[in-house]
Structure 1
Amino acid sequence: MSTLNRLTMLGSGVLGAQVAWHSAFKGKTVVIYDIAEEALERSKIALDGYAVIYQSDLGASEADIDAARQRLTYTTDLASAVADADLVIEAVPEVPSIKSGLYTSLAPLLPERTIVATNTSTLLPSDFAADTGRPEKFLTLHFANQIWKMNLAEIMAHEGTSRDAITQAVEFAIEIGMVPIPLRKEQNGYVLNSWFVPLLNAAQTLVTKGIATPEDIDRTYMMSGANLGPMGWFDVVGMTTAYNVMSYWGHKNDDADMLSNAEYVKEHFVDKGHLGLLSGKGYYEYPNPAYQRPDFLAVPEIGAAPEIAAIVGSASAVLH
C-alpha cells in the first residue's frame, strides 16, 4: 500500500482534470493547481460532466459523487498547492520550456517526501529530472484519455529514479484502479503514444492533403469494431494538445507533413476556439457527434452512388 494519499495536480486541462477527478473518486485528497482562475472554472465545469459520466457509466451514487467533490480543492497559488503533497503530477502543456520552468519553480516548495511525476505524452523523464531538484523521486506516470474506461498508467523511470519511488507510483496507480504498464527503458511516446500519435498524424495527413473527409477516415477505422475513429480522438485529446505535440515533433524530426498538420489544426481549430470535446466543437459537434448516429456506418442508398462517384470523378479529372 502506498503512502501517496495527498495528490496535487499541476494543470487542470483535459487529462489533468480527469486524473484529479478519478483520484478523488477513488479516495485520494486532491488539490488542482492552475495559473489562472478561468482555467480552474473551466475545470470545474468539466468535472461536473465527469460526475454525470461516472453515474451513468460506472454506477456511481450521489453519495460517491459528493464524497469525490469533498476531496477536491482548487488554487492558483503554487506554494500552497504543494505544501502537503505526497505526490505531484504535472500535466501542463506539452512544451519543454513550460515544463522546465514549472519544475524549477516547484523544486524549493516541495516537502522532502514528495514524489513528482510527469504525465507528458511524448517527452522523457530524463529531460526534466535535474530541473526537479529531486531526480531520485521523479518519474513518468502517464494516463490515457477517458481514464474511467481507458484505465491504464504507463510508468517510466530514468536512470536516477529510486526503486522506492517507482514502487510507490505503481501502488498509487493500482489504488486508483489503473492497470500498470511498466516501461523497461525510456521511450518517447511510451507504449500508447508510440502507436497513437503516428495514427493521428497519418489520419490528419489525409485531411490536410484533401484526400478524404474526417468522417470517411473514421468510418474506415470504426468498421473494425471501434466506437471512435482517429478524428474523433482528436476531439477527445483536445486540439491544443494535438497542435503542441505535432508542432514540437515536426520541428524536432524535420517532418514536413507533421508541421503541415500542426498548422492545419492551429488554423482551423485552435485559432477559432474550436478545441474539441470540451469546447463543444472540433472535427465534430457535441454533445451529439455524427459518429454516434445509428446510420454512421450504414450502407448508403443506391441513389447516393452518383454523388459518391462525382467525388471520385473530381479526383480522377485532376489526375488525368
Structure 2
Amino acid sequence: MTTSPFDTVTVLGTGVLGSQIIFQTAYCGIPVVAYDISDEALDRLPERWEQLKTYYRRDLQATDEQLDAAVARISATSDLAEAVASADLVIEAVPETIAIKKSTYEALSKVAPEHTVFATNSSTLLLSDMVDAVDRPDKFVALHFANNIWVQNTAEIMRHEGTADEVFEQLVQFAEAIGMVPIRVLKEQPGYVLNSLLVPFLNAAAALLVKGVADAPTIDLTWRRATGAPKGPFEIYDIIGMVTPYNLAMARAAESPESAAFAQFLKTNFIDQGKLGRASGEGFYKYDAEGNRLD
C-alpha cells in the first residue's frame, strides 16, 4: 500500500460524504479528527460508524478488529482551532454553497498551522472561486470523492493555477494511501470529470419528475432496463442524500424553473420530513440497516 504523505488528517463536515471520508481514512490507518459546527451532529457519529461498519463487513469482508481499530483512530470536536491544531491535511466537506465554503476557509486560515494543506471536496465549485478566502493558495487543491467511497473508490484531484506541483502530487499519493483510484483533473472544470457527466443526467431526471412526465420508480426502471445500468437516477439521489441536490438545485433556481421546482419538492417531501436518503433509511425508496432497498 502507498504510504500517506500526511500523518494526521482533519475532515470538516460529518454529513453523508464527510463521514465516509473520515471512516475510510481511519480504516486505512491514519488518525482523523472529525469536525462539525453542530455538537448534535457529532453525537450521532457513533451510530453512523455502526452503519458504515455494516457496509464494510458486507462489501470488503472487513473484520470487527479492523473496524474497531478504525473507530479508535477517530476523534471529534466542534472547536475548529482544536480540530486543526495538528493537521497535516484538512479536507473540507461542508455544504455546497460558495458563501459557506468561503467563510469556512476564512476561519480555517486563521487557525491552521502554516504547513497544513487545504483540500476541498466540493463537487461543482472551482478552486479559483474560493481561493481568495485562503491564506495559502499554493497549498489549496480539490479532492473530490464519489459516494460509497469504500467501493466506488475514485478521488478526483484538481488544481488551480497557483497550486504547487508538490502539493498536487501529495494529494495523488494520499488518495492511493486510502484505497482510492486517483483521477488527475488536468484543468479546472466545474463538476470535474464525474459530475460533468452525472449532474446533467440527474437534472434531466429531476425535470421529468417535476414536469409530471413520469414518477421516480418509472424513470429509474426505464434507465435500468434500457441501458443495463445497475441504478436509476433517483436511486443515485438516495445514495447522495437530499441536502446536496437541494443546494445545487437552489443555486440554479433563478435561471431554471425546473430546478426551483425540484428544490421545493426535495424540501417539502424529504428534507422537512427527515427523509434524507439511504443513510437515514428513507428517500425516494426505503432501506434496511444494511442499505438494501426494502421494496
TM-score band w.r.t. shorter chain = over 0.9
Hey, what's the Cα distance between the residues in 2 that align with 1:209 and 1:228?
22
Hey, what's the Cα distance between the residues in 1 that align with 2:217 and 2:256?
25
Structure 2 residue runs without a partner (length 5+) = none
Question: Does the 8 A contact of 2:278 with 2:291 survive in 1?
Answer: no
Q: Deviations over 1:250-272 (max 9, x none)?
A: 33xx1222222222212221222
1:132 counterpart = 2:134 = yes
SS in 2 for 1:266: helix
Q: Deviations over 1:179-200 (max 9, x none)?
A: 1111111111111111111111
Deviates more, 1:218-227 or 1:193-202: 218-227
Measured after TM superposition, the shift of residue 244 of structure 1 is: 0.2
Deviates more, 1:276-285 or 1:14-23: 276-285
Hey, what's the Cα distance between the residues in 1 that align with 2:252 and 2:160?
21
Question: Does the 8 A contact of 1:141 with 1:155 survive in 2?
Answer: yes
Question: Does the 8 A contact of 1:51 with 1:65 survive in 2?
Answer: yes
Counterpart residue identity of residue 257, structure 1: E
- Corresponding residue number in structure 1 for 2:239: 236
Hey, what's the Cα distance between the residues in 1 that align with 2:196 and 2:268?
26
Q: Which runs of 4+ in 1 moved over 3 A?
A: 288-293
The 1:132/1:48 distance shift into structure 2, 3 A limit, reads same
Query: Identity of aligned pairs, percent?
Result: 46
Question: Does the 8 A contact of 2:285 with 2:293 survive in 1?
Answer: no
What is the Cα-based RMSD across aligned positions, in Å?
1.8
Measured after TM superposition, the shift of residue 42 of structure 1 is: 2.6
- Corresponding residue number in structure 2 for 1:258: 259
The 1:176/1:290 distance shift into structure 2, 3 A limit, reads closer
- Corresponding residue number in structure 2 for 1:316: none
Hey, what's the Cα distance between the residues in 2 that align with 1:150 and 1:249?
27
Q: Which has the higher contact order (CA 8 A, sep 6+)?
A: 2
Question: Does the 8 A contact of 1:11 with 1:91 survive in 2?
Answer: yes
Mapping of 1:1-320 within 5 angstroms?
A: 1-223=3-225, 224-251=227-254, 254-287=255-288, 292=293
Q: TM-score, normalised by structure 2?
A: 0.95
The 1:290/1:209 distance shift into structure 2, 3 A limit, reads farther
Question: Does the 8 A contact of 1:121 with 1:142 survive in 2?
Answer: yes
Measured after TM superposition, the shift of residue 3 of structure 1 is: 2.3
Hey, what's the Cα distance between the residues in 2 that align with 1:94 and 1:257?
19
Question: Does the 8 A contact of 1:13 with 1:43 survive in 2?
Answer: no
Counterpart residue identity of residue 244, structure 2: T
Hey, what's the Cα distance between the residues in 2 that align with 1:237 and 1:95?
16
SS in 2 for 1:23: helix
Hey, what's the Cα distance between the residues in 2 that align with 1:181 and 1:119?
13
Measured after TM superposition, the shift of residue 73 of structure 1 is: 0.5
SS in 1 for 2:252: helix
Question: Does the 8 A contact of 1:121 with 1:189 survive in 2?
Answer: yes
Measured after TM superposition, the shift of residue 52 of structure 1 is: 1.3
SS in 2 for 1:250: coil
Q: TM-score, normalised by structure 1?
A: 0.87
Measured after TM superposition, the shift of residue 66 of structure 1 is: 1.3
Hey, what's the Cα distance between the residues in 1 that align with 2:243 and 2:44?
15
Measured after TM superposition, the shift of residue 130 of structure 1 is: 2.1
Measured after TM superposition, the shift of residue 26 of structure 1 is: 0.6
Counterpart residue identity of residue 280, structure 1: G
Q: Deviations over 1:195-232 (max 9, x none)?
A: 11111111111111111111111111222333321101
SS in 1 for 2:199: helix
Hey, what's the Cα distance between the residues in 2 that align with 1:195 and 1:262?
21
Q: Over alpha carbons, which structure has the higher Rg? A: 1
Measured after TM superposition, the shift of residue 5 of structure 1 is: 2.1
Measured after TM superposition, the shift of residue 30 of structure 1 is: 0.3
Q: Deviations over 1:4-23 (max 9, x none)?
A: 12110000000000010001
Hey, what's the Cα distance between the residues in 2 that align with 1:45 and 1:53?
13
Structure 1 residue runs without a partner (length 5+) = 297-320
